[in-house]
Amino acid sequence: MSEQRVALVTGASRGIGRGIAIELAKKGFSIAGNASSLKSSGRKPGLSEVKQKVEQSRAEFLPVPGDISDLECHEKLIQKVLNRFGKIHVLVNNAGVAPQKRKDILDTTPESFDRLLSVNLRSAFFLTQRVARFMIRQKQQSSEYTACIIFISSVSAEFSSPSRAEYCISKAGLSQAARIFADRLAEYGINVYELRPGIIDTDMTRPVQKKYDRLIKEGLVPQKRWGTPQDVGKAVAALAQGYLDYSTGAVIEVSGGMSIRRL
């Protein structure tokens, strides 16, 4: 690669986003990590902790705190990255939340529905719109500039979970957003991918750990183990390095084989 590559990762302070930032740093990417706060909270690591991990790989890390669901912060966030690094080569739309309380679809509240779609879908859509415009300009100015966008969705984009319908709907919308951006940006050589994690061991899944321990043991996951943030990070790193250059619009599942239809 002829220039230092920069990845902007949302939701980078913990879980999957943290794993993605660390794996990209191992491959030589400079990281701009976004989260709502710089500091750790309870058992959750913050951007400061992730910065230390990234710098162990001798990679640069720029913390860019901000509420990604607030569209007004997007321009400031992007400018901070550009002021530090000059370019953005990879956007990883990872930030997301689960329902604060799981409820049957017949009891889903408008407040929970709006919160999930705002954070998980709306914010990623409009941040991608802004970053894509910048990437197009860079493409037009330099033939050597390469870029890609990665949406982190979930197997819940297709699987039904009646106790968290708003989460499934937000991820299904994210899946379609990835597909449409892939179509629109193909003419500029900007590849867009959707990456679908399965059951990943993070603080988001910890409250239902016993349930998934049982389901995995019963055969829900053919590879018979939990996924890790590192598993997802490695897949993102492969996409970011261009190993699937002729596959824009592809859906990459990191789920231990959950999508395999079996009798």
Average pLDDT over residues 112-121: 98
- What pTM, to 2 d.p., does this model score? 0.95
Position with higher pLDDT, 89 vs 2: 89
User: Percent of the chain at pLDDT above 90?
Assistant: 91
Which pair of tokens denotes residue 18? 């943290």
Nearest to 93 by CA among 180, 5, 16: 16
DSSP string computed for 85-141: HS---EEEE------SS---GGG--HHHHHHHHIIIIIHHHHHHHHHHHHHHHHHHH
Q: For position 1, what pLDDT does the model report?
A: 43
Average pLDDT over residues 240-244: 98
> 160 with 148: CB under 8 angstroms?
no
| HSE-up of residue 124 (Cα within 13 Å, Cβ side) | 32
Please tell me the CATH code under which domain 6-254 is placed.
Answer: 3.40.50.720
Of the given ranges (2-6, 86-90, 246-250), which has the lowest mean pLDDT?
2-6
Bridge partners for 34 per DSSP: 64
Q: For position 233, what pLDDT does the model report?
A: 98
Average pLDDT over residues 165-173: 98
Nearest to 19 by CA among 235, 252, 249: 235
pLDDT tens, 7-64?
A: 999 999 999 999 999 999 999 999 999 998 766 555 556 899 999 999 999 999 999 9
| Domain boundary assignment for the chain | 6-254
pLDDT tens, 49-66?
A: 999 999 999 999 999 999
Q: Is the pLDDT of residue 79 over 80?
A: yes
| HSE-up of residue 99 (Cα within 13 Å, Cβ side) | 24
Average pLDDT, the chain: 95
What's the DSSP call for residue 243?
Answer: T
Position with higher pLDDT, 205 vs 87: 87
User: Percent of the chain at pLDDT above 70?
Assistant: 96
